[in-house]
Structure 1
Amino acid sequence: MVGLFVGIAVLLLRMTSVLEPWELLAYDWSMKTRPSVRALDSRIMLIGITEQDIQAMGRWPLTDATLARALDKLLQHQPRAIGIDIYRDIPVPPGQKALESVLATHPNIIMVMKFGRDAHARVNPPAVLRGTDRVAFNDLLLDRDGIVRRGLLFMDEGEESASSFALRLAIQYLQAAGITPQPDLVNPQHLRLGQTTFRPLEPNDGGYVGVDARGYQVLLDYMGTSRPVPSYPLSTLLAGQIPGEAIQGKIVLVGVTATSVPDVFHIPDSSGLVGDRGTVYGVLVHAVMVNQLLGAALDGLSPLATLSEPQESLWILMWGLLGGLIGYLGRSTVRFVVLTISGLMLLSLIAQTAMMKGWWIPLIPPA
């Protein structure tokens, strides 16, 4: 009975979100130690606008002429999709007409906007693409500790809805394989790509307690990112020094990788992506999400999943009862210590094995 009361007390404590930071740290540790299951090197490549590029041009942002020239260089090698992770709500002369011409005539180019939660936070897409399906939002979600663990597929604010940058690029790429977004056969409100269904994140899934789950959110799977996405500086592209096979048939993301432009984010530690300051550039986070969507649609790799709330409660209560049993059997100090350590090791093994299989189960409350 003591174990049951302890389990109930832990469940009540968990509802206050006191344990959430520790659960997220445990999740990060599991993510870091989980073996790689996919690689960021076969379908995606990156053109990074580096600090050296900006210094050589002597200005930021890029002019419309420079951006149009970069797009022309990419289009020569027939990429399947091009994603520009740079806002261009306001023209940056010279070259406005040239850029508008390129954007208007090539449907595989996707530009970004910022959806924002209010009008003051919004950034519009280029005027030439407004009202088309070639615009996507690049908003990223931060947890309370500032780490990006969740990604958005859709946002809907009533009068307006939009697709995420990663989802729109994945859809563009998958069209060649005859794969389009479909409703799930069992839950029509859920998105299916290929044979894989993405269940939207709920406020109390995994270690979260009352997280803002508006929009269509999924857990970002950073596994397989031990090898960074192939990337080239903008200057190399403009000089025509990138092999055509590195671009042909790929998704090409163009984004900022310069220290002077504030577009960096914290993610759960993954040695292949995290820089010296524990941050990654925003365009890399989008690359991870694109990779996750393609892996699900083409390779059948399942998204990270969580137990239902009743299942999580039963899991925690079971460990509470086990703790009570350890207290009952551990009459001597030595036996109690041995049984406690053994129980914690078993719990860690189960949680880590579950993560390897793509399941996030609570680790801290049972401990």
Structure 2
Amino acid sequence: MKIPAVLSTIGDFCKRNQQQLIAGVITLSVSLGMLAMRENGAFKQVELWSYDMMMRSQLHEPPDQRIVIIEISENDIQNYRWPFSDRLFAKMINQLSRAKPAVIGVDKYLDLPVLEGRDELVKAVKDAGNVVNAKFIAIVEGRKGIEPAADLAKISIHGYVNLITDKGAIARRTAIVADTGSFAFEIANLYLQRIHNQQIEFNPSAIQFKAGKQIIPRLTEDYGAYHEEDASGYQIMIRYRSTPRGFKHIRATDIINGNFDPALIRDRIAIIGVTAESLKDSYPTPVNSDDEVMYGVEIHANIVSQLVSATLEDRPFIQVWSKESEKLWIVGCVVVGGAIAIFIANVFKNLGLLAILSGGITYGCTYAFAQALWLPIFPSLLGLVTANVLVMAYQLAVQQAERKLLMGLFSRHVSKELVDIIWNNRQQFMEDGRITGQEVYVTVLFTDMRNFSTAAEAQAPGETLNWLNNYLGTIADEVLAHGGMVDKYIGDAVMAVFGVPIPHSNETERTRDAQSAVAASLAIAQKLKEMNDVWVSQGLPPVTTGIGINSGIVIAGSLGSSDRLEYSVLGDTVNIAARLESFNKEVDGGPHHILISEETHNRLENNFATEFVCRYALKGKTQETSIYRVLDIQKSINQLSPASSAEA
């Protein structure tokens, strides 16, 4: 195939599918826009907000009985004052050690001696042999860290208690390992070693940690909704197990006094930490509600539970798809949104399906999150809805333009009911903003006033215009009432057509059109008789109107320039109808001055009283036409009431 032919084929295809192609361009633009906005972090906060919502919806797991929090509450502070002395901490460690816990974690800096009892504290830590103490590493430049005390460094393990927070100080992620292990990491590893003879393994070649069968997913700077974050250290998303106070809590006072059941501690992880509001060691988290906060010791407990459960029970870490897969997912949602707008024209059906799909995506993303897979729910929903709304808005704009065109062509010429039918069937005959020409079978009706000049002479110019509008309006009303279309006004003459613009292809409809045209002409004659009575009473001369009707094939379509289009019908059928109307001047058209052709007469089915006039070669014709006059309407014609005609 030659290049010009290929280009022509492409051009024809684009022309035929212009709306779909533009809708496709809109959908593509929305896809690119969604990807670009997400790539630049535009959706970060709202995605993190939706992450928090999904996290709160998944808190259905039972409490982790392996962890017990020894809380230093406001009451404990009032009992012993703050800071607790080294002797008090030594006593707590000794009491806990007698209950034989797997690990004792102390979420309190013990770098400096506090009051009396330092030697007792060192001895208690050494005797326990399973203590993990807290330290602080300097992340922000210029800020000093808190290193382990020399007397405790050799006899205990230390892990940093730094917590990473997002905007709003929300703790969603943590670095389990930096230069050393975190507080939670060291506690979890020591517990796994002592109780289960396992540990979290490190693969130096791949720089990966493995908990049981799982590779622990490491956050990158653009992990999920994050954008250009500081991803230093081995960061993971915290998969919270519960809301605040979701772990077993025992008061520090009860531990110091030995007022507790040792079975609650044996072979478990006991973490000492503050829950006193005055000490300000609390954070908002995804699982908090309203102004509720979670204390640092509880956050560390959640991280410990996450690492231990992943190793022993294969509890999954929160993961995300690759960036390429996330992009495909978002684009797919956008394409679906645009596609349903393209292929479902009905607005209500479209919105219904859009609502179902939105609910499906929401459910799917929430279900995936329950399996620890974090999908981009907000960009996918926004893309789905945006593409759908924009494509639908474009199509509505096109429809408005087409409707304006159609209404401009037809609203003055057909009934409102027929206008609606035209609009609903617009695709049958609209192309390139014009009505495509087509052969249709119609019945054409012509009317013409016989003594317009005489009547006009008896009136002032302004009165003549009102009088003529009244006359023409009466004719138009009856045409429309009987389901016809007023094609045009030619001075005091009217051309009407029955059977357009929606073509009637079967014989029943064509017969009904012919009968409707004759019924309309009789109604016009009756109305004009009544109007003549009024005009005569006003001193005006009566008028006579001739009517000609013919049925047959015409060419129907829009005529004129793009700025001034007019819908009309052309052909010999129209010419004969006009000649029949004019022939009223030469023969007796009967009491109503209505002449019809043989083609129309054959479709009346004896519903009208008619009379043969003659066979005559009408002006401009070589072949003779059989002509009939319409005398009256038969009783059975009540089937052709205006309502039934319009319905047909």
TM-score (normalizing by structure 1): 0.92
Deviations 1:169-226 (A, max 9, x none): 01110013111232359x7321112222202111112221122111001111113558
Residue equivalent to 2:315:
301
Residue equivalent to 1:195:
213
Contact 1:205 1:307 in 2 (8 A): no
Residue equivalent to 2:147:
124
Supply the distance in 2 between the matched residues of 1:178 and 1:81 (Cα, whole angstroms): 14
Q: Equivalent of 1:326, from 303, 328, 340?
A: 340
Q: Name structure 2 gaps, 5 residues minimum.
A: 1-23, 382-648
Q: Secondary structure at the match of 1:285?
A: helix
Contact 1:256 1:281 in 2 (8 A): yes
Q: Secondary structure at the match of 1:4?
A: helix
Contact 1:264 1:280 in 2 (8 A): yes
Task: Name the CA shift for 1:42/1:351 in 2 (closer, same or farther; >3 Å).
Answer: same
Supply the distance in 1 between the matched residues of 2:314 and 2:225 (Cα, whole angstroms): 26
Tell me, yes or no, if structure 1 residue 209 matches structure 2 residue 227. yes
Supply the distance in 1 between the matched residues of 2:324 and 2:101 (Cα, whole angstroms): 46
Q: Name structure 1 gaps, 5 residues minimum.
A: 156-160
Q: Secondary structure at the match of 2:115?
A: coil
Residue equivalent to 1:358:
372
Q: Secondary structure at the match of 1:192?
A: strand
Deviation at residue 61 of structure 1 after TM alignment: 1.1
Supply the distance in 2 between the matched residues of 1:9 and 1:264 (Cα, whole angstroms): 39
Residue equivalent to 1:89:
111
Q: Equivalent of 1:142, from 165, 168, 172?
A: 165
Partner AA of 2:52 in structure 1: D
Deviation at residue 15 of structure 1 after TM alignment: 1.9
Residue equivalent to 1:179:
198
Task: Name the CA shift for 1:295/1:255 in 2 (closer, same or farther; >3 Å).
Answer: same
Supply the distance in 2 between the matched residues of 1:70 and 1:351 (Cα, whole angstroms): 46
- Higher Cα Rg, which structure: 2
Supply the distance in 2 between the matched residues of 1:104 and 1:240 (Cα, whole angstroms): 20
Contact 2:310 2:316 in 1 (8 A): yes
Contact 2:170 2:284 in 1 (8 A): yes
Q: Equivalent of 2:330, from 316, 327, 330?
A: 316
Q: Equivalent of 1:11, from 35, 38, 47?
A: 35
Deviation at residue 98 of structure 1 after TM alignment: 1.1
Q: Equivalent of 1:71, from 93, 100, 103?
A: 93
TM-score (normalizing by structure 2): 0.53
Q: Secondary structure at the match of 1:347?
A: helix
Supply the distance in 1 between the matched residues of 2:173 and 2:257 (Cα, whole angstroms): 37
User: Which structure dedicates a bigger proportion of its chain to helix?
Assistant: 2
Residue equivalent to 1:34:
58
Supply the distance in 2 between the matched residues of 1:325 and 1:362 (Cα, whole angstroms): 21
Deviation at residue 33 of structure 1 after TM alignment: 1.1
Q: Equivalent of 2:252, from 205, 209, 234?
A: 234
Deviations 1:305-330 (A, max 9, x none): 11111111111111111111122134
Supply the distance in 2 between the matched residues of 1:253 and 1:217 (Cα, whole angstroms): 22
Contact 1:36 1:226 in 2 (8 A): no
Supply the distance in 2 between the matched residues of 1:226 and 1:234 (Cα, whole angstroms): 18
Q: Secondary structure at the match of 2:38?
A: helix
Residue equivalent to 1:253:
271
Q: How well do the aligned residues superpose, as a CA RMSD in angstroms?
A: 1.9
Partner AA of 2:45 in structure 1: P
Q: Equivalent of 1:266, from 284, 287, 296?
A: 284
Residue equivalent to 2:358:
344
Deviation at residue 258 of structure 1 after TM alignment: 0.5
Partner AA of 2:135 in structure 1: M
Tell me, yes or no, if structure 1 residue 22 matches structure 2 residue 46. yes
Partner AA of 2:70 in structure 1: I
Task: Name the CA shift for 1:80/1:63 in 2 (closer, same or farther; >3 Å).
Answer: same
Partner AA of 2:379 in structure 1: P
Residue equivalent to 1:101:
123
Tell me, yes or no, if structure 1 residue 56 matches structure 2 residue 71. no
Q: Secondary structure at the match of 2:325?
A: helix
Residue equivalent to 1:168:
186
Contact 2:130 2:156 in 1 (8 A): no
**Which structure would you say has the larger RCO, counting Cα contacts within 8 Å and 6 or more residues apart?**
1
Deviations 1:259-306 (A, max 9, x none): 110100011125xxx6x7320110000000000111011111111111
Contact 1:304 1:359 in 2 (8 A): yes
Tell me, yes or no, if structure 1 residue 154 matches structure 2 residue 203. no
Percent sequence identity is 27
Contact 2:245 2:298 in 1 (8 A): no
How many residue pairs get aligned? The number is 355
Contact 1:269 1:278 in 2 (8 A): no
Task: Name the CA shift for 1:266/1:362 in 2 (closer, same or farther; >3 Å).
Answer: same
Partner AA of 2:273 in structure 1: G
Q: Secondary structure at the match of 1:83?
A: strand
Deviations 1:9-64 (A, max 9, x none): 11101122121111011111111112524x3331000100010010111x211111
Partner AA of 2:255 in structure 1: L
